[in-house]
Each structure stands twice: as structure tokens, then as C-alpha cells.
Structure 1
Amino acid sequence: MAWNEPGGNSNNQDPWGGRRGGDRKGPPDLDEAFRKLQESLGGMLGGKKRGGDGASGKGGGFGLFGISLAVLAAFWLYSAIYVLDEQEQAVVLRFGKYHETVGPGLNIYFPPIDSKFVENVTRERAYTKQGQMLTEDENIVEVPLTVQYKISSLKDFVLNVDQPEVSLQHATDSALRHVVGSTEMDQVLTEGRELLASEVQERLQRFLDTYRTGIVVTQVNVQNAQAPREVQEAFDDVIRAREDEQRERNQAEAYANGVVPEARGQAQRIVEDANGYREEVVARAQGEAERFSKLVVEYHKAPEVTRQRLYLETLQEVLSNSSKVLVATKGEQSNLLYLPLDKMLEGRASGSSVGLSAPAAAGAADQGSQVVNDLQQRDPRSRERR
């Protein structure tokens, strides 16, 4: 049976071991606990107690106050201790004045006299901007820009400038307009984008250092700048014309690179041939002079023999270069017979080109040879000169 049913428990006890009625040793009910809490708070605040002697009421108030202090101390300690990872730093202000900058690890500060600002100082942050700019030649272009940056000095980032990232946006707009305004449109749209990005980054970093924002710009990327949509087609035609011009120029340079070295090689070859011819002529002249000097010495030794030898050598040299054959005989009738053997040999070699067949040309040459033989047999003293 249940403990509170009639006859169920002879001892008339509740489950907490106490008796019903007078001597109850179980926990008090909620009303009694709330009443005691009010009395304790009243005692701490200087109020009167509802019951009991003064000593016991004062001791209970101090115990609850100690517990409250312990709870507050634990909560303060929990909020005062903080941990920073490897990418973070914190700036601690004491009474609103800069106190220190702490790095990664377990740290503590003392609120409310201290306040801290925690930021990730290694993460790359990005800011994107796009707007219409006026170029140096008074053309309007749309320039999309992306700025990558990170915090270099957390103290400057927190204390020197209110909303430093907003200042970064304003400085970016100023630097971009200044650089684009001093650059022509074709440079912005085509090959000048890299130089444009470099100049914007340099000027933007100079602005941020002047403001002491604690921000360092790591990269500035100027994307494909383009003309406004209303005139985009005309700008595309201009760009294609420039590309065609560059292609034609490259082809011309390639042709020049192929022709000029060849012409230089031919010129060098002509120069070398001329130098060789000069050396040959000079050497031949020197050889002839040397030969003549030696010949003079021999002439003085034997003039008659030398003259005969010179005559025969000269005659041999002249007749060896002649293709005509002259035949002379001694007798009462000294006739000079001319045989055009050079024409006969040419006709034999190229009979088809002059209208003669090969057998006809060969026959003409044989007839010439037969005539020479007959003359030699008729006059054995005849001679042949070439």
C-alpha cells in the first residue's frame, strides 16, 4: 500500500523518513524556503527578521552573501579568461587607454576596468569595387577592381581610425579614379591593366599608411575593364582592329627576321668572295713578278735558248685555246686549208638542236677527219697547228 493510505503504514511515516505531523525531518516545502530567502535578503539589507533570534539570522545572511560572491567571482573568472588561436591577436584597453597587444594562447584581462578587441590578423580579406571612370582622353570605362588585404597592426586598426575598412573603401575609390584619370582608354582596356593595378596598389597603400589604419594591401586585381554597354559594340570593333594590326605587325616582323639575315649572309658571302678574289689576284701578280725575275736571270745566262723557249710556250698557250685548224703544205701551190672542226664537234654534240640528226653530225665529223688524213698522206711534211 501507499504510505499515505489508511492502514497502509503503521508508523505513519513519509518516504523521507519523517513522521506526519509534529516532528518532521524531511525537506521544507517551497513556501518555507522562499520565506527564508526573503528573510536572509532582508537581513543583508538591514531589514527586520520575522522570527528567530538575531544571531542565527545574521549568520544565515553572511553565508548566502558568501555564496553570491563565489558565484560572481566564478562568472567573472569565466569571462576574464580567454584563449586566442594562432591566427588571432587581441588589443587590451585599461580604463579606455591602450595597455597591451597579446598573442595566441591562454590570456586574462580584468573587466570592467579592461576591455579587449580580438581580430584575425592573418586571414586574407577582399573588397570588390566597380564603377565608371573617366580616362585621360575623356572616355568613360567601367573598371571592376578587387583589393586583397590583411591587418598588419591591430593596435592601429582598432584605435587610430573609426571603421578602418570603410576608410579602405574610400581610399580605394580615390586611388583608382586618380590612376584611371591619368591613363588613356586603350591602355585601360588592353595591355595596361597590370600596370594600372600596380599603380593603384602603390597609391592605395600610401593612403592607408598616411591614415595609419594598420592595413596592408597584398594584391590588387583589375579585371576585364570594358566600355559602357551603350557603346560596347563600337569598342569591340576598335579592339579587333588593334588585334589585326598587331597580328600584321608580327607577321611583318617575322618576314623581316627571315629576310634580313639572309640578305646579310649574301652580303657577307659577296664580301668574302671579293676578298678571296683580291687575294688571288695579288698572289698571282706576285707569282708572275717572281717568275719574271727568275726568268731574267736565266735569260742573261742563255739568251737564245730562253727566247726559243718563250716562243714555244707562248705559241702553245695561244693555240691550245683555239678551236680552229689550219693545214699548210709546201709546194708550187701553197694553199692554206681551213677546217671548221669546232663547228663540226658542236654539231656532233648537239645535232638535234641545229636540225641535224646524230648520224648526220657524226658523218660530218668523220668527213673532216678523213680530209685531214688525206692531206697528211699527200704531203708528209705538212703540220697541224692548233
Structure 2
Amino acid sequence: MNWDWEKLRENQKKYEQRQGGGPGMPTPPQMDDLLNKFKGFKFSGIFFVAIVIIAVIIATSTVFTIDRSEVGVIQRFGKYNRLAQPGLNFKWPAGIEKVTKVNVREIETEEFGFKTYNGEGSFRASPESSRQEASLMLTGDLNVAVVPWIVQYRRADPRAYLFNVKDVRSLLRDMSEATMRITVGDRSINEVISSRAEIANAAQKMLQREMDNAKAGIGIVNIEMKKTNVPEPVQASFNEVNQATQEKEQTIYRAREEYNKAVPLARGEAKRLIKDAEGYAIDRVNRAQGDATKFKAIYDEYVQAKDVTRKRMYLESMLEVLPKLENKYIIDSDQKNVLPFLNMGAKLSGQTLGKGE
């Protein structure tokens, strides 16, 4: 590039004259020169975008909202600091404080032994090998049972849920399986099949106690046992055993029914006979005592007046005997013409009764 030195010198002279200086004198920078220099400098759009982004990041990282079913766990430099309740909250910018939202009201479900799929309002079980192994359990009477169940829980303590246990879900599944195996192992196969509600309540209490000991921040809401059965290879044999057991129980029930009918009847009859015998004995004793008292009274009267008492006794005896006789024949003891005949009361027809008639 060729420079126009004459033109440059001319411009310099004009500049010195305008400033009132002479040759060799330094000239201070003027406002026009500065403006001209700044006019040549252009601000980049990236600089403004960066400033806006930084401002937005700072604003959004300091203001946050918590849903009504959640709780915010705030950490300051990685250490737990406080809990944020539902609503609008503030914190220090990102890098200083961090918030983790934990849903404390939603009830979650863990399934063991099966997996459900919701399709058009219906649920169906889809067994898998790992789930089947989890549901195979040994009962107290050394039988194998298929015990599917579900565990419903919620995050009761957000701080403990986040910081005390590394993998809360794995701990919950392992402890649930161990708890259910202990509970089922204390009962027979029939109890496991028929007493599912009782087993579920016992397992819930035990599981909650174990989760509290682990400080996992989990609250067990409910444990529900699904249909319990035996493995398919032994299903037929198990049904036969159940049928035989039911027949045995029916036979015992019928025998007890007959027993309850016959034994009370026999006991009642025995008591009746005993009461009759006791009444008869009392009657005989009372009669004997009465007869003895009567005889003694008569004897006392007889001793005092023998003739009168003897006649009275005779008359009373005849008064008792005579009404019982059908035909009565009264004969004077001084009568000499009447011969005595046998069978005087018999009816004779067409025959004479004796000589002298």
C-alpha cells in the first residue's frame, strides 16, 4: 500500500493550527477523536444473549414452587439444610443450594410373584421366572406354596428417604420378601391359603419395623396377598388331599352330630330313670313310715280296749271287702235246714242244686 506523505503532512499542519499549538508540541486527545474511535467499535449480540441467559438462570434457580403433594429437600453445598413446604419458595442460586422434590402423598406399589398390566380397565397377571421364584415359599408343614402379594408404601420421611439408604426400592423388595418368607414359614399350607388377611397384617407390622430400623423413610400403607396356591405339578395331588381331608371332616362332623343327638338323649333318659327311682324310693319309705305309724296307733288303741278295737277292725275290713263281692249270701248261723253247697255263686240251668229242694 502506498502512503500519500504530502497529504498526511498537510493534514497534520491543519490539525496543529486548529489546536493552537506549534510544531513539536504534544496535542491532547479530543472528544471527537474519542467518539470516532468508539464508532469503530461494535458490540457483539452474543454478549447480550449471555447476559440475559445468566440473569434467567439466576432468577429461575432462586425461585421455585412445591406441589401440595410434595416436599422440597434443600441442600447447601451438598449438605442437608432444610425442608421447603408446598407453595412458592426461595433459595440461593444453583451451585450454592439445590432442591430435590419428593412426593410424600403418592402411594406406590411393589408386586411380588406377578406383574399387572392395565388394559381397557382390566388387570391380568404376567408371571416371570424371577417373580415366580420370589413367590415360591416353604410353609411350616414343609409344603411348597405360590404366594403372590403386593406392598403399598409412601415416602414418610423425605430426608431419610434421600440420604440414609442408597437404593430404597431394592431394600424394600428384599425386606418384603424376607418378611413374607418368615411369616409364611410359621404357618401350615392350609393356613396360608385360608388366612391371607391375618398373614398380610403380620407381615405388614414386621416389614414396617424392619424399615424403621433401617431408617429408610418408608411408611408401609398396606400388604395385600393375592390368590395363594400350590405349584402346578402338584396341583392334582394337592386337590386329592384336600378332597380326602374334606371327606374326613364331613365324616367327623356327621359323627359329632349323631353323638350330640344320642348322648344328650341318653343322659336325659338316665336322669329321668334316676329321678323316677328316687321318687319311688321316697314314696315307698313314706308309705312304710305311714303304715308303721298307723299300726302303732292301732296297737295303742287295741291295748287300751281290745274288744272294741277288734270289732272295729273287723267292721272296717268287711267294709273294704264286701263292696268288691258280686253276689252276697247272708245265712243265719242258727239255721239248720239249709245244706251248704259248693259253687253257690255259679249259674246252674236245667239241674237241681241238691236234695230237699
What is the rounded CA distance, in whole Å, between the counterparts of 1:124 and 1:67 in structure 2?
41
- Within 5 A, what are the aligned runs for 1:335-346? 335-337=341-343
Asked whether the equivalents of residues 152 and 215 of structure 1 are also in contact (C-alpha less than 8 Å), the reply is yes
Give ranges in structure 1 of 5+ residues lacking alignment: 1-47, 341-367, 380-386
Q: Which amino acid aligns with 2:341?
A: N
Amino-acid identity (%): 30
Instruction: Indicate the SS of the match to 1:226.
Output: coil
- TM-score normalised to structure 1 length: 0.61
- C-alpha displacement of 1:240: 1.7
Alignment partner of 2:109 out of 126, 135, 149? 126
Asked whether the equivalents of residues 327 and 337 of structure 1 are also in contact (C-alpha less than 8 Å), the reply is no
- Within 5 A, what are the aligned runs for 1:221-240? 221-240=224-243
What is the rounded CA distance, in whole Å, between the counterparts of 1:63 and 1:273 in structure 2?
121
What is the rounded CA distance, in whole Å, between the counterparts of 2:109 and 2:50 in structure 1?
52
Q: Deviation digits for residues 234-257 of structure 1, max 9, x if unmatched?
A: 111111222222233333333333
- Within 5 A, what are the aligned runs for 1:1-386? 52=38, 71-77=56-62, 80-85=63-68, 87-112=69-94, 113-130=96-113, 131-188=135-192, 190-314=193-317, 317=320, 332-337=338-343
What is the rounded CA distance, in whole Å, between the counterparts of 2:272 and 2:214 in structure 1?
69
- TM-score normalised to structure 2 length: 0.65
Higher relative contact order (CA 8 A, sep 6+): 2
Give ranges in structure 2 of 5+ residues lacking alignment: 1-33, 114-134
- C-alpha displacement of 1:71: 4.2
- C-alpha displacement of 1:168: 0.8
What is the rounded CA distance, in whole Å, between the counterparts of 1:256 and 1:289 in structure 2?
49
User: Alignment length, in residue pairs?
Assistant: 291
Q: Deviation digits for residues 231-285 of structure 1, max 9, x if unmatched?
A: 2111111112222222333333333333333333333333333333333333333
Report what 1:28 is aligned to: none
- C-alpha displacement of 1:90: 3.2
Asked whether the equivalents of residues 326 and 337 of structure 1 are also in contact (C-alpha less than 8 Å), the reply is no
Q: Which amino acid aligns with 2:258?
A: Y
Asked whether the equivalents of residues 66 and 72 of structure 2 are also in contact (C-alpha less than 8 Å), the reply is no
- C-alpha displacement of 1:82: 0.9
Shift in CA distance, 334/64, structure 1 to aligned 2, threshold 3 Å: closer
Q: Deviation digits for residues 110-155 of structure 1, max 9, x if unmatched?
A: 3422333333333433222122223344433221122233333222
Q: Deviation digits for residues 54-90 of structure 1, max 9, x if unmatched?
A: 9x999xxx9999877754554334xx231331x4333
CA RMSD of aligned residues (A): 4.1
Shift in CA distance, 154/255, structure 1 to aligned 2, threshold 3 Å: farther
- C-alpha displacement of 1:172: 1.4
What is the rounded CA distance, in whole Å, between the counterparts of 1:324 and 1:111 in structure 2?
138
Instruction: Indicate the SS of the match to 1:234.
Output: helix
Shift in CA distance, 148/338, structure 1 to aligned 2, threshold 3 Å: farther
What is the rounded CA distance, in whole Å, between the counterparts of 2:282 and 2:178 in structure 1?
75
Q: Deviation digits for residues 278-302 of structure 1, max 9, x if unmatched?
A: 3333333343344334334433443
What is the rounded CA distance, in whole Å, between the counterparts of 1:121 and 1:222 in structure 2?
25
Q: Which amino acid aligns with 1:75?
A: T
- C-alpha displacement of 1:306: 1.9
What is the rounded CA distance, in whole Å, between the counterparts of 2:36 and 2:274 in structure 1?
132
- C-alpha displacement of 1:93: 2.4
- C-alpha displacement of 1:339: 5.5
Q: Deviation digits for residues 187-228 of structure 1, max 9, x if unmatched?
A: 43x435444434433432332222121223233233332222
